[in-house]
Amino acid sequence: MGTAAVHLLLLLGLLHAGPGGEGRKGWRRRGPAARERGEAAAAAAESFPLDFTAVEGNMDSFMAQVKSLAQSLYPCSAQALPHDLRLHLLHNSSVTCNDGSPAGYYLKESKGSRRWLLFLEGGWYCFNRENCDTRYDTMRRLMSSREWPATRVDEYAFMGALIIQEVIKELVGKGLGTAKVLLLAGSSAGGTGVLLNVDRVAEQLEEMGYQGIQVRGLADSGWFLDNKQYRRTDCIDTITCAPTEAIRRGIRYWNGIVPERCKLQFKEGEEWNCFFGYKIYPTLRCPVFVVQWLFDEAQLTVDNVHLTGQPVQEGQWLYIQNLGRELRNTLKDVTASFAPACLSHEIITRNHWTDVQVKGTSLPRALHCWDRSLHESNKNGKAPLKGCPIHLIDSCPWPHCNPSCPTIRDQFTGQEMNVIQFLMHMGFDVQKMAQQQGLEPSKLLGMLSSDN
């Protein structure tokens, strides 16, 4: 039996709107000076530490990861996938991308499949006119389905949840109606979109009469914390703005709607809390698997911890370690989770995603165990299978203390670094670090050298 993998390119991040919350925001046509600023922003974006490489630039590699993800969940099913993704524009033309261009999705079908994978792409966000204009100039593929047109609508639209709703309607007619399982997956902003939309998708299918489809979520690198920044800065753009302030401003600008069960947990005007994973997760009805680096680069960036190759100050080092502890604590009651102690961003879209392990278990293995546990629990109410763990969180205390973490490269020389080289490169005092861990420096060095 095949797996139909659906790659959904929603062009902004699906978390920013809901039914009834589709807003349009006015914009002003930009003159030469504004374009020059946009070009400068584009140059800056190229050196930004996070990897927001356009999927279109490496579609073969991206689809290899999607197929690998499907095959990990359903080992017998992903062999029959064809090679090409086909673009489908929505029949409902009133639901659009940010710039008013037609919204759509890419579909790769395996005829007769009863397991579907719906993927929400990530790629940061914007929360006001100015940084949405910059985003449009530098990351247009995430806001538009076409090249710069001769004209465009004079306002931005935020219809992420409505786009998902329309996609589901169309996929039902393409075979989704006979599915047993629909996995809603996403990375980064798309991972947050999974948390905000997974129950809504399940409810939509139930209302359409498809109660037999089990909807599940896979949220990768979308579990952000609303913690205090290492150093507070004014909210100027999406990089300097504290997470809580950015979402407060964004939810007003997007006219965003959050799931009702989560909304009821907070006072009126405090609905922005539902954009943070550990606050919305307890309200979810659908099973969700959370994949999250303990030391997420995007989280560190908005917390104003910039690891640029300069020696890290003691305060930064303690802040980074505390971030790992805080994130680990928020995952303790998450039934299915995979959280390696690595410094990176996004997992399931990377070539190395099958290599990383937590407590000797890889992510593909954990996802397969999760699928089996859901199947078994639906069948006879049993607990998760013995010897098949699905709650996997690293306990070691600093970035890249897990030897299976992806390779770190010196951003200036391009050379690979082992853990000791990485720590020395960041200016860490090994003796002080050993003292913090209650170890002799020689023992600590021996542990790091053996990748223990």
Strand intervals (E) in 188-266: 214-220
Catalytic residue among 296, 303, 371, 394: 296
Query: To which H or E segment does residue 365 belong?
Result: helix 363-380
Whether 345 is a known active-site residue: answer yes
User: Reduced to 3 states, what is the DSSP secondary structure of residue 448?
Assistant: helix
Question: Which of 345, 368, 391, 400 does the annotation list as catalytic?
Answer: 345
> What's the farthest any 2 CA atoms get from each other in the chain?
67
State the virtual CA torsion across 284, 287, 291, 292 in degrees, nearest 10. Answer: 20
Question: Among positive and negative, which fits the CA dihedral 330, 333, 338, 339?
Answer: positive
Quote the radius of gyration of the chain (alpha carbons, Å).
22
Instruction: Identify which of 419, 446, 425, 450 has the alpha carbon closest to the alpha carbon of residue 434.
Output: 446
> Active-site residue among 188, 337, 344, 362?
188
Residues 106 and 84: their CA atoms lie apart, in Å, by 9
The position carrying tokens 């009126």 is: 268
352 assigned to active site: no
- Residue 108 CA to residue 420 CA, distance in Å, equals 44
What is the spatial distance between Cα 228 and Cα 217, in angstroms, rounded to a whole number?
28
- Residues marked active site are found at 188, 296, 345
